[in-house]
Amino acid sequence: MSSRALTVAALKRYCRALPGATESDYGPPDNWLVYAVKGRKFAYFKTSEPERWRFSLRVTPERFVELTDVPGVKPARWRGRWGWITIVDVAGFPGDYLMTLVAASHERARQ
């Protein structure tokens, strides 16, 4: 893993490469690019303006509290109460840590 930031394209490739991961593009009115495993979501991008390429994933309650104090990270709209966060700018977030968070979200969805 790298501490460099990830591009949106690199993060999409990473999500698709996880075991059993599927990618579904939900157009209007939802405008999401969803990653799931066994039918359970583990991450998604918003694909419409003004929030295009904001990235959301599920985290543990402890990480939720920690991460929502970080600038550029907020509770995910509508899903925040279930432990989902949104990263406003993927390129501004440490890539290695983001991949760790995605892998943990994927693993939780597989269980």
- Parse the chain into domains and list their residue ranges: 8-110
Q: Is the separation of the CB atoms in 35 and 44 below 8 Å?
A: yes
Sign of the alpha-carbon torsion through 60, 54, 72, 1: positive
pLDDT digits (tens, 9 = 90+) for 25-55: 999 998 999 999 999 999 999 999 999 999 9
Record the pTM.
0.91
- Among the listed residues 99, 88, 102, the one whose alpha carbon sits nearest the alpha carbon of residue 46: 88
- How confident is the prediction along the chain (111 residues), in pLDDT tens digits per residue? 346 889 999 999 999 999 999 999 999 998 999 999 999 999 999 999 999 999 999 999 999 999 999 999 999 987 767 899 999 999 999 999 999 999 999 999 999
At the topology level of CATH, where does 8-110 sit?
Answer: Aspartate Aminotransferase, domain 1 (3.90.1150)
Q: Is 102 exposed, middle or buried (0-12, 13-18, 19+ CB in 10 A)?
A: buried
